[in-house]
């Protein structure tokens, strides 16, 4: 049996793509027959503290677990601990959720000290290779297919529903979405912003204020963070999902949307475009000139039945073609075992 210890940050407490990826990878590795233990480390990651780095050194000190997977958020601040572990003959893989920039000397040292890198998006893998790193492997996220089929159409009796899933954070840019919705108040629609309001309380308050300023409080719902059946209920209602973050290394929520047969609008120039793929199940919007292009896409979708149907059909087809988490686990096992 392959034994793996996953060393993960404990200081990201909202429902993030990285946290979801880590949890689902662990489950999928176990389903493939690997023995997986989880070690969660508190600390001021990614900068780290002396105490946090000491706890990492302890976590990497076992002799009965030859393979370690360390989340990049931790690894970036602890090159000496990774170098010591690999020098002692242990296999330490860094799981990269974000592209390395090469600007931070600690980051570069940590990545060069690692046995290899597991990258969750092709842009991240390419950035690592541009820094001269070798033994770089792509481990794209998988999806879980929903247990319940969603309605096939919305009709005149019910307004179409937009959903944006992600913590209320400046990078996710919920405010631009709200401002775009304010420009199409003449059309029928509802919307939900699904995500933590405690990850950045100041920004969450700004989003809430913008909704009221635009007079959208009866049409835009702030649900807070949802999971399980409550989140599934939002997916069942949704007709279009949006992810217009300023930066994304991949955008797991895009694949989650497609798995539910829901088309997606993403920001052009981000890793979310990779997640959207070439299925035709949505559109990548250029927002460099402002929200006008987003308004145009939403207005066009609402007013064009043929476009709505083509996106819906493409999303349903995409849901059948997406990789599963067992595919991700197999890629990781192939990388760390060298088979």
Domain 161-321 sits in CATH 3.30.930.10: no
CA distance 197 to 200: 6
* Same CATH fold assignment for domains 3-142+323-337 and 161-321: yes
- How confident is the model at residue 155, as a pLDDT? 47
- How confident is the model at residue 51, as a pLDDT? 85
pTM of the model: 0.88
- Mean pLDDT lowest for which of 100-104, 122-126, 271-275, 293-297? 100-104
* CATH number for domain 3-142+323-337, candidates 3.30.70.20, 3.40.50.2000, 3.20.20.210, 3.40.190.10: 3.40.50.2000
Task: List, in sequence order, every residue forming a beta bridge with 47; answer none if it has no partner.
Answer: none
Give the pLDDT confidence of 296-331 residue by residue, as tens digits. Answer: 999 999 999 999 999 999 999 999 999 999 999 999
- If we measure between CA atoms, which residue out of 262, 265, 269 comes closest to residue 322? 262
Give the pLDDT confidence of 143-197 residue by residue, as tens digits. Answer: 987 766 655 555 444 799 999 999 999 999 999 999 999 999 999 999 999 999 9
CA distance 155 to 293: 25
- How confident is the model at residue 148, as a pLDDT? 61
- How confident is the model at residue 75, as a pLDDT? 92
φ/ψ bin of 215: left (φ > 0), alpha (ψ from -120 to 50), beta (otherwise): left
Give the pLDDT confidence of 222-277 residue by residue, as tens digits. Answer: 999 999 999 999 999 999 999 999 999 899 999 999 999 999 999 999 999 999 99
Domain positions in the chain:
3-142+323-337, 161-321
């Amino acid at each position: 049996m392959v034994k793996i210890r996953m060393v993960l940050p404990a200081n990201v407490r909202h429902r993030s793509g990285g946290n979801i990826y880590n949890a689902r990878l662990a489950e999928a590795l176990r389903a493939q027959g690997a023995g997986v233990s989880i070690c969660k480390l508190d600390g001021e990651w990614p900068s780290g503290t002396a105490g946090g780095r000491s706890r990492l050194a302890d976590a990497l000190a076992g002799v009965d677990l030859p393979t370690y997977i360390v989340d990049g958020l931790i690894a970036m601040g602890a090159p000496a601990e990774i170098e010591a572990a690999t020098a002692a003959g242990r296999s330490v893989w860094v799981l990269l959720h974000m592209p390395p920039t090469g600007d931070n000397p600690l980051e570069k040292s940590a990545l060069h000290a690692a046995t290899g890198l597991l990258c969750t998006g092709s842009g991240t893998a390419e950035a690592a290779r541009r820094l001269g790193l070798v033994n770089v492997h792509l481990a794209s996220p998988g999806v879980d297919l929903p247990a319940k089929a969603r309605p096939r159409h919305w009709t005149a009796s019910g307004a179409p529903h937009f959903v944006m899933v992600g913590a209320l954070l400046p990078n996710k840019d919920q405010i631009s979405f709200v401002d775009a919705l304010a420009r199409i108040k003449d059309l029928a629609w509802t919307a939900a912003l699904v995500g933590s309001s405690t990850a950045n309380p100041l920004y969450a308050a700004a989003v809430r204020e913008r909704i009221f300023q635009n007079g959208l409080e009866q049409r835009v719902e702030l649900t807070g963070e949802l999971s399980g059946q409550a989140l599934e209920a939002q997916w069942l209602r949704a007709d279009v999902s949006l992810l217009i973050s300023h930066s994304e290394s991949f955008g797991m929520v895009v694949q989650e949307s497609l798995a539910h047969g829901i088309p997606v609008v993403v920001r052009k120039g981000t890793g979310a475009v990779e997640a959207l793929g070439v299925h035709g199940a949505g559109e990548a919007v250029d927002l460099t000139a402002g929200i006008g292009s987003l308004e145009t896409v939403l207005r066009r979708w609402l007013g064009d039945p043929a476009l709505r149907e083509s996106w819906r059909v493409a999303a349903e087809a995409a849901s059948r073609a997406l990789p599963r988490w067992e595919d991700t686990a197999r890629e990781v096992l192939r990388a760390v075992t060298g088979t």
